Amino acid sequence: MKLLYFAWVRERIGKTDEEVAPPAAVGTVAELMTWLAGRGEEYAYAFENPKVIRAAIDRKHVQPGTSITGAREIAFFPPMTGG
Amino acid sequence: MMTATIRLQREDFDAAAEAAKLTGGRTDIGAVVTFSGICRDHEGGHGVSAMTLEHYPGMAEEEITRHVAEAEARWPLQGVTVIHRFGRMTPGDNIVLVVTVSAHRQAAFEAASFLMDYLKTQAPFWKLEERPDGKDWVAAKQSDDNAAARWVKS
């Protein structure tokens, strides 16, 4: 699946997007964040407080408990500040 | 007939010209509300010399389109235009435009307010401020969440 990062999540990880293949045990958005946080210092920093991070699957807002099964594109970002 | 225009762009916009596009040649419109969000030079006690708007291409358009459709379903509108800029802006620059037109003022006012409240909290945009002490991402405001929550139907 493709992951996208925006704003300070992108800055902390140091990339805008990447392809990943998490193990099958990673079933939800929250579990994906935990798995990502274990991939290195920059990921641990980005996901140090997962409660504040929002996610979208295939361009729709989702909750931490949402299943990632079948997702093509998952984005992580801070609370939005548009307008 | 309802006309909806949604644009994300780096370039500036002309609020008066966009409003005129919705009303031109029509005699059934009684109310036009034009809201422009503008980059200001201060925020919470510190100066702001510029800000950069980052967005999620694709999702931003889809989110705004969904909320314009909801506004259309909730209020009798004859037209809506939403333009949201991205890139770097300095104080005085336009950031966002919402124009709503209707036969009567209440629908136009309420729909414009609804759209702005949702743009603030649900549309995937992030502001990076340039301040005297460096750059920092703008934190989301509880007051914006509260403003959006008042439109949730119980």
Domains of chain A: 2-25+35-77 (3.10.20)
Classify residue B154: in a domain, yes or no. Answer: no
Beta bridge partners, A76, equal: A5, A55
Q: Beta strand pairing status for B50-55 and B134-137?
A: unpaired
Whether residue A81 and residue B120 make contact (CB cut-off 8 A), yes or no, is yes
The pLDDT tens digits of the residues spanning B84-129 come to: 999 999 999 999 999 999 999 999 999 999 999 999 999 999 999 9
pLDDT tens for chain B, 154 residues: list them: 678 999 999 999 999 999 999 999 999 999 999 999 999 999 988 999 999 999 999 999 999 999 999 999 999 999 999 999 999 999 999 999 999 999 999 999 999 999 999 999 999 999 999 999 999 999 988 889 899 999 988 6
Show which of residues 63-102 on chain B sit within 8 Å of chain A, judged by CB atoms.
84, 95-96
Q: What is the ipTM of this complex?
A: 0.96
Q: How far is A9 from chain B (nearest CA, A)?
A: 11
Instruction: For residue B57, give its domain range.
Output: 3-149
Classify residue B97: in a domain, yes or no. Answer: yes
Classify residue B8: in a domain, yes or no. Answer: yes
Classify residue B43: in a domain, yes or no. Answer: yes
Domain CATH for B56 = 3.90.1170.40
Whether residue A77 and residue B62 make contact (CB cut-off 8 A), yes or no, is no
Task: Give the nearest partner residue to A77 out of B62, B96, B124, using CB atoms.
Answer: B124
